[in-house]
Structures are given as C-alpha cells and as structure tokens.
C-alpha cells in the first residue's frame, strides 16, 4: 500500500509512451496493434487511477498524495525568486478527474478501434488520443498553476489536431475542418490570455503558484469529521455488533454539521471533535490548540490537523488566501496598490476568461459546435466528457479564491446560467445530430459554471462526472448512428447504381468519396432507426433520459443538486445570483428535455425518411459494448451522491458520499439539501418538454417536407429561425471581428505591403536608392579611385622600368665593367676610412 504514491508519475508516463510508440512506429504496425497499444495504455492509466483511488480511500483523513517533485527545479529563475517544481497532487478531486478521464478514455479507445477502422491516419489518431490523455492527466494532477497550464495548452493542441484530423477530406470539407480547428485554437488563445494573466497575478500576489504545500490540510472540518466518524464507527463496532459499519446515521449528522460549520470557525469544529470523546477526538482538539499532540504520536511523525504551524509565506495559494482574508491586507503589484480582495477579484475574473475559452462559455463558446468536425469519438472524449470540463475543474480547484470573490462569482453565475439557456435554445434549432449534442454540451457546461458561481462546487464536479458519462454515451451513440447511416447510404447507392458491387465495403477512404449532397449527420435523413439499431437506440434513450434529468438516472441527481443549490443560495444565502441562476437553469432544463426528445423522435422514432436510414445496419460489438458500459454508468453513477432524505435511498447508497470525499480537496464543497418541490418542478418541466416535443415531432407529414414544424408555425417561426441561425453569434462574430480583421488584413497585405512596401518602397526607395549608391560606387569610386590607383601603380612601374631597361645592353663587357666599377667603389668605401686614419 505504501508504494502506491510512487505510481503517480506513471499515470502520465503510460499514455505518453503509448503516444510515442504510435507516432513513431504506428505507420509500420498493423491497425489492430496500433489500436491495442493505445487502448492498453489508456487501460493501464485507468488501473493506476483506480489504485490511487483505493489508496486515498484507505488513507488517514483522505490525505492528498503530493509526490516529491519529480523535477524540483522545473522552472527556476533565481533573479525573480521563481521556483516552480514539477509536482503532482493526488487528492479526491484530481483522482475523480483521473478516473473519469482514463475510464471513459479507455471505453472511447475501444470504440475508436472499430469506428476509425480503415482510416489512413489510424495510428496518428490513436497517438493524438493518447497524447491527449497524457496532457489531460498533467492538467488534473498538477499541484501548481504553471504545470496545470502545460496540460491546459497540451489538451488544446490535441483538441485542435483532432478537430482538423480530416483536413484533407474532399470537396472543401477538409478546408472547413481546418477552419474549425483554427477557430478552436484562436478562441482558446483568447481564453489563455486570461489564464496567463491570472497565473502571473497569482504569482505576484502569493509568491507561489502551488495549490497547497505537501503538508497542508485543505479542509480542517472535513478532517475533523473524518476522525469523528471513524471514532463513532469504531465505538459502535465495539458496542453493538452488527450494524456498526452502517455509516448512515453518521452521514446524516455530518451533513447538518457541515452546513453549520462552513463559517470556518475553528472553535466550533474543535468542540464538535472534542464532544465525541475518544482518543482521536482529543488529539484533534489538542493539536488544534498547539503542538502538544506530539507526545501522543511520539513514535510516528506528527500528524497535523490544521495549518497553524505553517508560516503564511510557506502556505500554498489557497492557504494564503484564507490567512489574508482574516485581516484586511493591501498588496502592491507594480504601480498598483489594491486591497487583497480586489486582487482576488481581478485574478478570478481573468481566470473566468480562460474558463470561458476552454469550457465554451459566453462569449467564447462558438468554437465548440464547430469542433464537431473531428472524429466523433474524439468529440466524445475531448469536446464533451473531459477537456471542456477543464475550466470547471480549475474553478473548483480555485474554489477558495472564488469563495472570497463574490463579485466574480456573480458574473460567473450569470455567464454560466446564460450559457446554459443560450446553448439549449440554439440546440433546439439544429439539424445536425452532433451539433445538437455540441450545443447541449455548451448548455450543460453552463450548468456547471453556474454551480461554481453560486458556490456549489461539489455539485459542479458531481454534474461534471455524471455529464461525462451520459454525454460521452450520447456522442458515441450519435457516432454509431452516423456510421450506420453512412453505411446505409453507400449500400443504397451501390444497389441503385450497380447490382454487382453489393459486397463493396464502404470505408473512410475519403479522397475517393463520390460527390453528393447527402449528409449522414443530418437528422432529416434519419428516422425509424430504433428497429434497425435497437442497442444503439436503447443506450441513446438512456443517455437522453440521464441528460434530461429523468428520475432516478444520473442527470437527475446532479442537475437537481445544482438547481436546488441555486434556490438555496438565493433564499438562504440571500444571493441575487441564486435566483437568477435558478430561473435560467430551469428554462435551460426545459430546453434540454425538448431538444433531446426532438432528437429521439427525428432519429429513432417514426419511419425511415431516406434509403440510407432504411439500410442502416446495427454497429458491431466494439461499438456497442462501450455504449452499454456507459449506459450502465449513466443510470447508476448518480447514486454516488444521492442527497439525504429521498425515499430512503441513503440507506442503500449512502448520502453525499461523493461530496464528503470531495471536501477533503475542495474546501468549500458542501453538500446541498434536497428540495422535494424543486425536484418535482424540474422533473415536471422535463416531462412537459418531452410531451411537447413528442406532440410536435411525431407528426410525420410535416417532417417529410424537411422543415421543422416550429418553422412552419407562424407563432414560433421567428424563434426557430433565430435558434437555427445559432442566435447569430457566429454571424455577429464574423461581422464584428472576423470581417473587419480580414478587411484590415487585406488592407495591410494589398495596400500597405504590396502597394506601399513592394511597389513604392521597394521600387522607389530601396531599388532606386540601391541603384544610385551602386552608380556612385561603380563610376567614380571603383573606376576612378580604385582602378586609377591600381593602373597608376602599373603605369609608374612601366615608366620606371623603361628607364632601367636602357642599362641592360646585353654586352658582357658592360656587365663586367659595371661589376668592376662596383668592386672598385666597394673597395674605396672600405679603404677610404683607413686612408684617412693612416
């Protein structure tokens, strides 16, 4: 058991190795090996996540594993006092994310092995998927913002690569895919500006970017309660024999106490711990006062139950936030001196911008629906289940900061709730099966963000978990449908054109695709598929019911908790945002139910509207098994966090088990109370929307015209067209940003660059100037000075040697005479001094 923490780096290493194998060797390997390597890598990572979960579950106080930094000086700038380690953190929040990412990731890998069959870049797809897993795990296991940002950018990269995966599809489709990838990249860069700014501000404010330092206690109350619970269970075990392990009474007690003690009063918690009596309780109380507990733990290392022994500067970001909030502090960054609260608001607002980019919130959400250009399983994993929830994750991770920044929280709520409504509204007017789901994802992310805004951090993560299952299920189901309709279309065409080629197996060889207008994703081309593909239908129906919050499927519990928490935030917390969120989310829930049932009616019910749909085959087991597994979880995963006092369910599944665990890593994740009236209201809205959708879309005659009944109805035509045009968001962005940008770009390219720089500047200034200088250099300088000098020397030499030549008579006697005269001269020179002396 004690070796488990050392497994932590493996969770990133294993998918990385898978990605490396596939990227370098994948082209040479057979398809099945490529898929198997990637899937096994993903499954092994899941295994590691499960082991870590087991370790955490059995550890004392659910203490987080913060492994010793792998690279201590990952980023070291001594002059700036920047020391950022590559350090991973495994706590209940990150282990939740790990299980989701690797678990759903593995299922999607299995699914992809069949879905991507025959693609010419099969190995590249799996390499990207494994790379995505690795980066996503970096993101969630990071213990500081900088390392988180590595994962954040990495998943963005993988997202872009997978959106543009079919960049070379024929007939302009590839270009559209490329544009979609580019759009995702650019909108995410806008968000990343926010993340980078918030990281910088966090560093300047706190001097560190660590979430928590290794020995820090995240949530003192949670730890105290854990000890209390264990003690109670222990004593009950000892006293009464049988139902000792039954944790139910404790849980009930716990939830009330938690809500009472959220004020953060140490004293109340200390009393509560002390009142239970028993050794551990006393220890907790004693250690709360000082360090006298050391005596009892003389042998073992001291176990601290709070952070009082750590100096403020040594705490992580969130610990420091708590300290600073205890007394008003002013912090100076550069030329600005603001109160700590103001900095916190600034930091969180910048972070919100990043979240809006990554988690597709207003105003940056328009990339997500376009991201559906990628392969469907990749959409399921990246653009529905995991990557887009990274924003929610990072907000929940920073819950302490958001908790103390009410202004930001208000904006977060408004943005989240409006996104939920906008996404749901647009989804009602779409014909593309994946686009509906994409807007649904936008809408559901809005739910999570709104939950963060009203302080329901536990509910946000709970909805993230359940949503990951049923939205992955829906996407994979839609992939199965699209695949089947595509096959059906090819089959029908083969029948129509050539009876001999019945055995022709259509595959992904998209360069040979015949040009036709048939769109296998258009729901108008479907219908009646429930009989053709029963398993897909059943699982899709389960996904739909789970998403729309049908009792007692997963979505019911998570969505209801968010809506109930909104109401509670409004009523109890006297928070205006709570009421706004409550109202908007109920509307969004209604939209959700409407567009999902519309989809069911259009795709599965009724009769087949095209030959393609008539010939659609059920998918193979590689596709159906992941669907079945996800359907199972979509039904049951909600029970990990059932509220107390609902039909006695807490006796079966326990109450708030998930939130209780989350509290060990999310300081302000408190379990929400169940509100029967609100649950009934939401459920009623869902049923009402189902009925409405059924009444509208089961009318065949109108559907046959390939137009939406709502479009034909004068009273709703305007609304429907508005939704169908995606509320003109993309249009507006095109008009306001893209087109002016393009116009500026054209101006810069044509006028400034081409006409001014090339034609004018180059020709007039550079070309003519160069010519002028060259002229001067060549004529007077080169020809005059340099050549003159060289030739002058030559001429001088010739003139001089012409004179000397006269001496060379060629007669030996001349030379002899010269020699003799010379000798006589030498002798004279030698002798003259002697003669003078003599």
Partner 1 sequence: MTVQTESYVMLSVVLFTLGAMGVLLRRNAILVFMSIELMLNAANLSLAAFAAHWGQQTGQLFVFFVITVAAAEVAVGLALIVAIFRTKRSINIDELHEMKG
Cβ 796 to partner 1, closest distance in Å?
A: 18
Cβ 798 to partner 1, closest distance in Å?
A: 13
Closest to 351 (Cα-Cα) out of 184, 148, 161: 148
Among 805, 829, 830, 837, binds partner 1 (CB under 8 A): 805
Among 515, 715, 806, 836, binds partner 1 (CB under 8 A): 806
E strands present in 657-736: none
The yes or no reply on residue 810 touching partner 1 (CB under 8 A) is yes
Q: Which is nearer to partner 1, 238 or 807 (CB)?
A: 807
Q: Which is nearer to partner 1, 79 or 801 (CB)?
A: 801
Mark the segment that binds partner 1 (CB under 8 A) among 54-62, 492-500, 581-589, 810-818.
810-818
Q: Which is nearer to partner 1, 298 or 807 (CB)?
A: 807
DSSP-derived secondary structure letter, 750: I
Q: Which is nearer to partner 1, 256 or 818 (CB)?
A: 818
The yes or no reply on residue 817 touching partner 1 (CB under 8 A) is yes
DSSP-derived secondary structure letter, 663: T
Strand bridging mode 82-86 / 89-90: unpaired
Coil vs helix vs strand at 85: strand
Mark the segment that binds partner 1 (CB under 8 A) among 297-305, 319-327, 641-649, 811-819.
811-819
Cβ 804 to partner 1, closest distance in Å?
A: 8
Bridge partners of 336, per DSSP, are 333
The yes or no reply on residue 812 touching partner 1 (CB under 8 A) is yes
Mark the segment that binds partner 1 (CB under 8 A) among 70-78, 258-266, 520-528, 798-806.
798-806
User: How many chain residues interact with partner 1 (CB under 8 A)?
Assistant: 13
The two three-digit tokens of residue 781, written as one number: 């300088």
Q: Which helix (H) or strand (E) holds 83?
A: strand 82-86
Mark the segment that binds partner 1 (CB under 8 A) among 119-127, 595-603, 615-623, 801-809.
801-809
Angle at 465 between CA 429 and CA 587, to 5 degrees: 35
Q: Which is nearer to partner 1, 691 or 824 (CB)?
A: 824
Mark the segment that binds partner 1 (CB under 8 A) among 331-339, 384-392, 463-471, 814-822.
814-822
465 contacts: CB under 8 Å, gap ≥ 6: 96, 100, 558, 637, 640, 658
Cβ 811 to partner 1, closest distance in Å?
A: 6
Q: In this structure, are residues 550 and 688 in contact, taking their beta carbons and an 8 Å threshold?
A: no
832 contacts: CB under 8 Å, gap ≥ 6: none
Cβ 803 to partner 1, closest distance in Å?
A: 10
The two three-digit tokens of residue 690, written as one number: 């189902």
The yes or no reply on residue 813 touching partner 1 (CB under 8 A) is yes
Q: In this structure, are residues 554 and 462 in contact, taking their beta carbons and an 8 Å threshold?
A: no
Mark the segment that binds partner 1 (CB under 8 A) among 424-432, 447-455, 482-490, 812-820.
812-820
> CA 629, CA 625: separation in Å to the nearest integer?
6
DSSP assignment string, 366-411: THHHHGGGS-HHHHHIIIIISGGGHHHHHHHHTHHHHHT-HHHHHH
Cβ 793 to partner 1, closest distance in Å?
A: 21
State the burial class of residue 159 (Cβ atoms within 10 Å of its Cβ: 0-12, 13-18, 19+). buried
Q: In this structure, are residues 377 and 479 in contact, taking their beta carbons and an 8 Å threshold?
A: yes
Among 816, 825, 826, 832, binds partner 1 (CB under 8 A): 816
Q: Which is nearer to partner 1, 175 or 815 (CB)?
A: 815
Give, in order, the Cα–Cα distances in Å from 423 to each of 163, 420, 587: 20, 5, 11
Cβ 783 to partner 1, closest distance in Å?
A: 33
Q: Which is nearer to partner 1, 58 or 797 (CB)?
A: 797
Cβ 775 to partner 1, closest distance in Å?
A: 44
Which residues, numbered 250-289, are part of the site for partner 1 (CB under 8 A)? none
Bridge partners of 86, per DSSP, are 71
Which residues, numbered 657-686, are part of the site for partner 1 (CB under 8 A)? none
> CA 86, CA 74: separation in Å to the nearest integer?
6
Cβ 773 to partner 1, closest distance in Å?
A: 46
Give, in order, the Cα–Cα distances in Å from 6 to each of 69, 138, 296, 661, 683: 11, 16, 29, 22, 46
Cβ 805 to partner 1, closest distance in Å?
A: 4
Mark the segment that binds partner 1 (CB under 8 A) among 305-313, 634-642, 751-759, 808-816.
808-816
Give, in order, the Cα–Cα distances in Å from 320 to each of 211, 315, 324, 337, 399: 10, 6, 6, 18, 13
Q: Which is nearer to partner 1, 499 or 813 (CB)?
A: 813
Q: In this structure, are residues 356 and 365 in contact, taking their beta carbons and an 8 Å threshold?
A: yes
> CA 703, CA 454: separation in Å to the nearest integer?
41
Cβ 812 to partner 1, closest distance in Å?
A: 5
> CA 467, CA 448: separation in Å to the nearest integer?
10
The yes or no reply on residue 827 touching partner 1 (CB under 8 A) is no
Mark the segment that binds partner 1 (CB under 8 A) among 534-542, 545-553, 678-686, 809-817.
809-817
Rg (alpha carbons) of the chain, rounded to whole number: 37
Cβ 808 to partner 1, closest distance in Å?
A: 3
Map tokens 């055995």 to a residue.
503
Q: Which is nearer to partner 1, 804 or 834 (CB)?
A: 804
Q: Which letter, b or e, does each residue of 538-566 get, where b requires 16 or more Cβ atoms within 10 Å of its Cβ?
A: bbbbbbbbbbbbbbebbbbbbbbbbbbbb
Long-range contacts of the stretch 261-269 (C-beta < 8 A, 24+): 261/221, 262/221, 262/668, 262/670, 264/322, 266/220, 266/306, 269/220, 269/221, 269/224
Cβ 785 to partner 1, closest distance in Å?
A: 33
Cβ 806 to partner 1, closest distance in Å?
A: 7
The yes or no reply on residue 830 touching partner 1 (CB under 8 A) is no
Mark the segment that binds partner 1 (CB under 8 A) among 295-303, 379-387, 592-600, 807-815.
807-815
The yes or no reply on residue 809 touching partner 1 (CB under 8 A) is yes
Mark the segment that binds partner 1 (CB under 8 A) among 188-196, 676-684, 709-717, 804-812.
804-812
> CA 75, CA 654: separation in Å to the nearest integer?
44
The yes or no reply on residue 828 touching partner 1 (CB under 8 A) is no
The yes or no reply on residue 797 touching partner 1 (CB under 8 A) is no
Q: Which is nearer to partner 1, 300 or 812 (CB)?
A: 812
The yes or no reply on residue 798 touching partner 1 (CB under 8 A) is no
Among 263, 503, 512, 811, binds partner 1 (CB under 8 A): 811
> CA 377, CA 814: separation in Å to the nearest integer?
109
Mark the segment that binds partner 1 (CB under 8 A) among 578-586, 692-700, 720-728, 805-813.
805-813
Cβ 824 to partner 1, closest distance in Å?
A: 10
The yes or no reply on residue 804 touching partner 1 (CB under 8 A) is yes
The yes or no reply on residue 81 touching partner 1 (CB under 8 A) is no
The yes or no reply on residue 838 touching partner 1 (CB under 8 A) is no
Among 807, 829, 834, 835, binds partner 1 (CB under 8 A): 807
Q: Angle at which helices 145-163 and 340-358 pack, to 10 degrees? A: 20
722 contacts: CB under 8 Å, gap ≥ 6: 429, 728
**What is the contact surface with partner 1 in residues (CB under 8 A)?**
804-813, 816-817, 820
């Amino acid at each position: 058991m004690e070796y488990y923490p050392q497994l932590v780096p493996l969770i990133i290493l294993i998918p990385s190795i898978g990605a490396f194998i596939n990227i370098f060797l994948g082209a040479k390997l057979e398809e099945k090996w490529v898929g198997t390597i990637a899937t096994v890598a993903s499954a092994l990572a899941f295994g590691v996540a499960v082991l870590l979960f087991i370790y955490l579950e059995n550890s004392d106080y659910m203490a987080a594993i913060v492994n010793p930094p792998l690279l201590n000086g990952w980023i070291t700038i001594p002059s700036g006092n920047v020391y950022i380690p590559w350090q991973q953190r495994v706590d209940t929040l990150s282990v939740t994310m790990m299980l989701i990412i690797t678990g759903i990731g593995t299922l999607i890998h299995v699914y992809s092995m069949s879905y991507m069959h025959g693609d010419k870049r099969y190995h590249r797809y799996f390499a990207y998927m494994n790379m995505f897993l690795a980066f996503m795990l970096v993101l969630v296991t990071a213990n500081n913002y900088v390392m988180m940002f590595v994962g954040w950018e990495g998943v963005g990269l993988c997202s872009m690569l997978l959106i543009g995966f079919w960049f070379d599809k024929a007939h302009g489709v590839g270009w559209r895919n490329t544009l979609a990838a580019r759009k995702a990249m650019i909108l995410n860069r806008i968000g990343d500006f926010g993340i980078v700014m918030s990281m910088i501000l966090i560093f300047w404010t706190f001097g560190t970017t660590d979430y928590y330092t290794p020995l820090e206690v995240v949530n003192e109350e949670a730890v105290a309660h854990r000890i209390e619970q264990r003690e109670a269970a222990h004593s009950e075990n000892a006293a009464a024999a049988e139902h000792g392990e039954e944790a139910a009474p404790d849980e009930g007690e716990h939830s009330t106490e938690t809500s009472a003690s959220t004020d953060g009063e140490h004293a109340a918690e200390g009393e509560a711990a002390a009142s239970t009596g028993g050794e551990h309780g006393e220890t907790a109380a004693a250690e709360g006062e000082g360090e006298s507990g050391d005596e009892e733990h003389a042998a073992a290392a001291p176990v601290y139950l709070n952070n009082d022994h750590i100096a403020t500067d040594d705490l992580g970001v969130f610990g420091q936030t708590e300290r600073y909030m205890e007394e008003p502090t002013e912090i100076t960054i550069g030329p600005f001196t603001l109160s700590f609260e103001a900095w916190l608001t600034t930091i969180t607002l910048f972070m919100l911008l990043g979240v809006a980019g990554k988690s597709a919130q207003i105003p940056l959400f328009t990339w997500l629906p376009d991201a559906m250009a990628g392969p469907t399983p990749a959409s399921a994993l990246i653009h529905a289940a995991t990557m887009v929830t990274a924003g929610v994750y990072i907000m929940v991770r920073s819950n302490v900061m958001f908790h103390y920044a009410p202004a930001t929280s208000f904006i977060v709520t408004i943005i989240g709730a409006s996104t939920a409504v906008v996404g749901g509204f647009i989804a009602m007017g779409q014909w593309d099966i994946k686009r509906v789901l994409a807007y649904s994802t936008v809408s559901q992310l809005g739910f999570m963000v709104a939950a963060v805004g009203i302080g329901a951090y536990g509910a946000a993560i709970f909805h993230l978990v359940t949503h990951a299952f049923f939205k992955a299920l829906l996407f994979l189901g839609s992939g199965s449908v699209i695949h089947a309709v595509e096959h059906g279309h090819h089959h029908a065409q083969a029948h129509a054109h050539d009876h001999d080629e019945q055995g022709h197996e259509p595959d992904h060889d998209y360069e040979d695709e015949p040009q036709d207008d048939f769109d296998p994703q258009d729901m108008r081309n479907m219908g009646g598929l429930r009989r053709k593909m029963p398993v897909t239908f059943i699982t899709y129906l389960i996904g739909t019911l789970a998403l729309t919050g049908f009792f007692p499927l997963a979505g019911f519990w998570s969505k209801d908790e968010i809506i109930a928490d909104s109401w509670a935030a409004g009523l109890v917390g006297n928070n205006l945002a709570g009421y706004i969120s409550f109202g908007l989310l109920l509307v969004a829930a209604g939209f959700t139910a409407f567009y999902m049932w519309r989809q069911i009616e259009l795709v599965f019910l009724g009769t087949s509207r095209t030959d393609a749909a008539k010939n659609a085959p059920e998918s193979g087991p590689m596709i159906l098994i992941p669907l079945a597994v996800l359907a199972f979880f979509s039904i049951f995963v909600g029970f990990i966090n059932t509220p107390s006092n609902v039909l006695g369910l807490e006796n079966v599944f326990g109450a708030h088990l998930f939130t209780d665990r989350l509290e060990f890593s999310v300081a302000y994740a408190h379990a929400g109370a169940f509100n029967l009236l609100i649950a009934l209201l939401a459920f009623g809205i869902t049923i009402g929307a189902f009925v409405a959708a059924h009444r509208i879309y089961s009318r065949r005659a109108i559907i046959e015209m390939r137009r939406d009944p709502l479009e034909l109805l004068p009273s709703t035509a305007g609304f429907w067209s508005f939704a169908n045009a995606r509320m003109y968001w993309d249009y507006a962005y095109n008009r306001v940003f893209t087109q002016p940008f393009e116009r500026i770009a054209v101006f810069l390219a044509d006028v400034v660059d081409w006409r001014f720089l090339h034609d004018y500047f180059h020709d007039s200034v550079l070309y003519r100037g160069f010519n002028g200088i060259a002229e001067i250099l060549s004529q007077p300088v080169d020809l005059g000075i340099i050549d003159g000098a060289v030739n002058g020397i030559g001429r001088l030499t010739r003139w001089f040697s012409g004179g000397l030549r006269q001496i060379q008579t060629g007669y030996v006697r001349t030379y002899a005479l010269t020699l003799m005269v010379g000798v006589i001269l030498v002798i004279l020179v030698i002798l003259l001094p002697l003669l003078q002396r003599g």
